[in-house]
Structure 1
């Protein structure tokens, strides 16, 4: 596809502004397409892909040449399916920085809305890095880690393939909303949505640092401390240690992990007993579970509140660091260019939703009445997801 045909594609429709024919070429380059192609053949294309990836790590995006852009798209972003169109149409990192979401869709053929979001978040992260900031820690969390390690840690590995297919990486995790989980990632169970969003909240609290999270988890592997960072597997170990091993395996692939136990106040001992499958008639076992949970998780709940206040977000409410800012216009939702602003979280779900109790019917706190709105807000934090304002710190 030549530059002329690309311009015609982008110029379709009466409402569309005509684009500069040189949009997909580097404005600083005076070379013809043929001359530039020869230059690439003699120089950049002879470089090993790993060398190009090294340039990605050490060079600002605006200085990238065509070969580096292609290596970034194929290796770093794991999107080889778009490399051919990129080779034809994007000749430099400077051009890449200038692309709108419409350009990504029509010029590069990125039809998946989540793939476009992944590219947009990455481009804006690199733009921020050029403004004197470093790349976000979330940039270090690739989609393989999210799909394999992170989902396994929170006890929801059954969604691994869906996350893998949509190439959900660390930046994308921080942008996910309830409707994304339902529409694109096949997460229909409300409790599983809660589990994922609270897992993201934990990542936010450690600034998306995989190293910090692993270090804290290592310290509590043999001690019942810092339960907010416990993985699903660590929770299973704790259940076995308190002499309830016959029920422990019921938590496998349940979505029960430390952040749920600490940050979600409606997930109490009764809900945990239901998740474990302890019969309602076994009062002694349920009381034993409640006492053990009180000893480990109640002190952590208070710590969680203090930590959340430090970060400017109440416990149990999902936060955002570099959320994709969106603005309404006549053509629908569109990502804003430039630094991604913080906005309403949009991760709405309610503990009163019947589907929220499809697995754990006792999740709703019976003390959450309607008489005192402020008390209800503090006790039923899940209902605050719909319109929560968050602050970047």
Structure 2
């Protein structure tokens, strides 16, 4: 009896072991059916990312309607490759550019607006976009106003119709010369004028100040963004605003702008280095830079005094075009003592040979006139005095609207034709007129 009970227990144990082995085999078969299957927890989607055709797996929803027994103990089996996406949406969809599985988005492709941007470059200024107007302001040297321009400018037409007051209010352009620079550019665009002076930017102007012997004003001119067009329309008030108060320096800038006018604002019209020249004509001397004048002083045995011309504003244009500039003026600027009469006479003789007989005669006539006032380093330019009749228009006349140009633009066309200008051609523009004598005063 005891043996029978022991045998029954062994049979039951074997049955239990067999049942467990069967279930383990079934589980292993379900995992190896699909290579990309993994085991996850209950909270994932029951949908598979595999194919939706073919025989159903033993673990499909149809075969798992009533989970019981060991299956409940071991948990549910899911395949989770891209389990969060519906099988119908992905399936065996092929890889394509711009698709869900693509790694490179549209940011790597060329924008469709490129053609529109290309055509924008051929558009007139009035049709320029805000971005292009802002880029133009950057290149124009007025990049500090781009932030306000983005908020106010809708197109190029906004600037074309803007007044100086609008520019000050909407773009915050408080600097009068910055405002004048922009106004002159807008006027040129509206008038469709192609001025050669506009090709000279404010960087070139700072180098030009070196050439005419006035490097001490480079910071003021650069900060005010004075370019070639502004030189053409530069007024006495502009120079005073730039802290140029010396009468001699006003005349220096006036004569230098005159030379630019006659040479059609050619950026390379000034001669900086000496060349092989036997008989120098006044039309060549008028184009000498400050450094070239110092080289001439060395050639006439006055090398020890040549460095005194740095910062003096003396250049060929001032020597030839200013009637009151003579040998005595040059001796004063070179700091040659009056008691050195032989040295001064030597300088005057070489100076008269340099300028030629025509200019020498004109300077002599000016010197002998009763209204002659010699040039000095202490003479200052004062603002023009206004009478009582002008007070009514004082408020209406803005700083930007002044037309008292430092070098009037009544150019003589005959003087600007041809490459070689004669002395009379350079004198076609008078750099110093009787009208300006009223503005010059002598300091005490």
Q: TM-score range by the shorter chain?
A: 0.5 to 0.7
Equivalence for 2:161: 98
Equivalence for 1:283: 341
The equivalent position to 1:333 in structure 2, one of 395, 398, 404, is 398
Between the aligned partners of 1:83 and 1:277, the Cα distance in structure 2 is: 49
Q: 1:59 to 1:293 in 2, by over 3 A?
A: farther
The equivalent position to 1:124 in structure 2, one of 187, 195, 206, is 187
What secondary structure, in the 3-state scheme, does the structure 1 residue paired with 2:398 have? strand
What secondary structure, in the 3-state scheme, does the structure 1 residue paired with 2:234 have? coil
1:295 matched to 2:359? The reply is no
After superposition, what is the alpha-carbon deviation per residue over 1:34-72, rounded to whole angstroms, capped at 9, x for unaligned? xxxxxxx9848x97xxx99x94xx653223222211111
Question: Mean Cα displacement is larger for which, 293-302 or 223-232?
Answer: 293-302
Equivalence for 2:83: none
Conserved? CA contact 1:178–1:347, under 8 Å: no
Between the aligned partners of 2:436 and 2:225, the Cα distance in structure 1 is: 25
1:79-158 equivalences in 2 (<5 Å): 79-129=142-192, 133=193, 135-147=194-206, 149-158=207-216
After superposition, what is the alpha-carbon deviation per residue over 1:331-351, rounded to whole angstroms, capped at 9, x for unaligned? 432767xxxxx9654679xxx
Between the aligned partners of 1:124 and 1:218, the Cα distance in structure 2 is: 34
What secondary structure, in the 3-state scheme, does the structure 1 residue paired with 2:286 have? helix
Q: 1:198 to 1:108 in 2, by over 3 A?
A: same
Conserved? CA contact 2:272–2:291, under 8 Å: no
Please tell me the root mean square deviation across aligned C-alpha atoms, in Å.
3.5
Larger radius of gyration: 2
What secondary structure, in the 3-state scheme, does the structure 1 residue paired with 2:166 have? helix
Between the aligned partners of 1:84 and 1:332, the Cα distance in structure 2 is: 30
Give how far 1:385 is off.
2.4
The equivalent position to 1:63 in structure 2, one of 127, 131, 137, is 127
Q: 1:290 to 1:329 in 2, by over 3 A?
A: closer
Equivalence for 2:138: 74
Q: 1:304 to 1:177 in 2, by over 3 A?
A: farther
1:237 matched to 2:328? The reply is no
Conserved? CA contact 1:346–1:386, under 8 Å: no
Conserved? CA contact 1:157–1:253, under 8 Å: yes
Equivalence for 1:187: 244
Between the aligned partners of 1:159 and 1:113, the Cα distance in structure 2 is: 17
Conserved? CA contact 1:346–1:385, under 8 Å: no
Conserved? CA contact 1:266–1:380, under 8 Å: no
Q: 1:67 to 1:112 in 2, by over 3 A?
A: same
What secondary structure, in the 3-state scheme, does the structure 2 residue paired with 1:207 have? coil
Conserved? CA contact 2:407–2:431, under 8 Å: no
Question: Mean Cα displacement is larger for which, 186-195 or 138-147?
Answer: 186-195
TM-score of the superposition, structure 2-length normalised?
0.56
Q: 1:384 to 1:92 in 2, by over 3 A?
A: same
What secondary structure, in the 3-state scheme, does the structure 1 residue paired with 2:225 have? coil
Structure 1 or 2: larger helix share? Answer: 1
Between the aligned partners of 1:272 and 1:219, the Cα distance in structure 2 is: 20
Conserved? CA contact 1:231–1:258, under 8 Å: yes
1:171-210 equivalences in 2 (<5 Å): 171-182=229-240, 184-210=241-267
Count, aligned residues: 276
Conserved? CA contact 2:236–2:404, under 8 Å: no
Equivalence for 1:4: none
